Amino acid sequence: MADGDAYSDLDTWNMLLDPAYRFAQTQEAALIGRIQAMSEQGMGIQAIAAALQVPLKTA
C-alpha cells in the first residue's frame, strides 16, 4: 500500500500501520462475506442493513 520515498518512513509504516491496515482488510472481507450470504438467502438491502445495524441513506 505504501511505497518508500523521501517523504515516508517505510519502517514505521511496516511496524505500526501495516498491522492495522491488514486487520481492517480482514474485517472488510468478513463483512462482505456476511452481506453476500444474506443476499444469497434472499434478503433485501433494507433487511441486510437492519441486520448489520447500518442506516440506509435517504436520498
Condensed to tens digits (0 to 9), the pLDDT of residues 19-57 reads: 899 999 999 999 999 999 999 999 999 999 999 998 888
Q: How far apart are CA 59 and CA 55, in angstroms?
A: 12
In a domain, 26, yes or no: yes
In a domain, 15, yes or no: yes
Q: Is residue 3 part of a domain?
A: no
Report how many domains make up the chain. 1
Cα(39)–Cα(45) distance, integer angstroms: 8
Report yes or no on 25 lying in a domain. yes
5 located within any domain: no
- Whether residue 18 is contained in a domain is answered as yes
Mean pLDDT of 7-19: 80
Please give the residue range of the domain that contains residue 42: 10-52
Q: How confident is the model at residue 59 (pLDDT cuts 50, 70, 90)?
A: very low
Is 19 domain-assigned? yes
Q: Which of 36, 37, 31, 24 lies closest to 53 in space, CA to CA?
A: 31
Predicted TM-score (pTM) of this structure:
0.68
2 inside domain: no
Among 27, 26, 38, 42, CA closest to 52 = 38
Tell me the C-alpha distance between 7 and 49, whole Å.
41
